Structure 1
Amino acid sequence: MKLSAKSAWDTPSILHFLNDVTIPIRIAVNKGDSPVICSLWYAFDAEAEAFMCVSHESSHLIELLKQNHRCAFEVAPNDPPYHGVRGQGRASLTRAGAGDALKALTERYLGDTNQELARWLLDRADQEYLIRLKPVWISSWDYGRRMESV
């Protein structure tokens, strides 16, 4: 994983951010002339240097990633001060481990809340794909100083 020279944060700071926040990753995949953007729950595996996401077999994203494994990504909160991580990577798809990843992501994002949604998602675990998104390059930005008054 190559860290951009323009990154506001070093690699340990990026890894800390990715492990601490529970906001979805936005993944962009080209479809013809235009990108398609999809938000997914993720966990970052620092040892594998890869994002782990899960998506249903009938999702448009899975269809697109089967045709084109190159994508861009961003993890950033919507509220100021604006900061986050973005980059480009390559996605691989597998059914192996998708159920375990879905369970871990459900616990990470829902915790003890919304058990009805958790049950619904986990009941479909055998219809999911595990997406491993391995960054080719990664960068961060942080407008905290210039937005201190916000």
Structure 2
Amino acid sequence: MDRLTGDWDRDRTEQFLDEQTIPVRLATRTPRGGLWMLSLWYRYRDGALECATGANAKIVEYLRENADVAFEISTNDVPYRGVRGAGTADIAPDEDKAVLRDLVERYLGDTDSQLARSLLSPDRDEVRIRVDVDRAYTWDFSDRMGGE
């Protein structure tokens, strides 16, 4: 994270990103200039957000055309808090589905469910989306909404 502003310092921001299992909302532009947003599971590594998705997903096509993204990871329950920002996405093969496997374990707890087995199927071609965060803003309404 190059530039960070808002309620939290870097350590607290990274703690939030590591602890939360809220999908990232990722926004970009379509090749025709329209807006596109979707939610993806993420992990935070070395100042970047990493996601995995099918190699044939529309978002992959869009990011190959324009790598600029905006994102938000925020709680859905009171007290509202989170991180939003912008960055640049890079797409690479998810070798041996390493990123996807880590995300499945992070969000589902293990790889034993039908969903996990389906996602990790050898027939699926996966890519890793790495978002290098250029700027981020944090907010925490705990003081005025109650909470931690």
> Displacement of 1:34 after TM fit?
3.6
User: Relative to structure 1, is the Cα distance of residues 141 and 17 closer, same or farther in structure 2, using a 3 angstrom cutoff?
Assistant: same
TM-score (norm 1): 0.89
Unaligned runs of 5+ in 2: none
Structure 2 CA distance, aligned partners of 1:124 and 1:141? 40
1:1-150 equivalence runs, <5 A = 1-5=1-5, 7-31=6-30, 32-46=32-46, 49-97=47-95, 99-112=97-110, 115-124=113-122, 126-148=124-146
The runs of 4+ residues in structure 1 deviating greater than 4 Å are none
- Is contact 2:52–2:94 with CA below 8 Å preserved after alignment? no
Unaligned runs of 5+ in 1: none
Corresponding residue SS for 2:71: strand
- Is contact 1:99–1:125 with CA below 8 Å preserved after alignment? no
Structure 2 CA distance, aligned partners of 1:128 and 1:101? 9
TM-score (norm 2): 0.90
* Percent pairwise identity: 36
| Counterpart code for 1:13 | R
> What is the Cα-based RMSD across aligned positions, in Å?
1.9
- Is contact 1:98–1:129 with CA below 8 Å preserved after alignment? no
The number of residues matched between the two structures is 146
Alignment deviations for residues 56-78 of structure 1 (CA, whole Å, 9 cap, x no partner): 11211111111110000111111
Corresponding residue SS for 1:123: coil
- Is contact 1:93–1:130 with CA below 8 Å preserved after alignment? yes
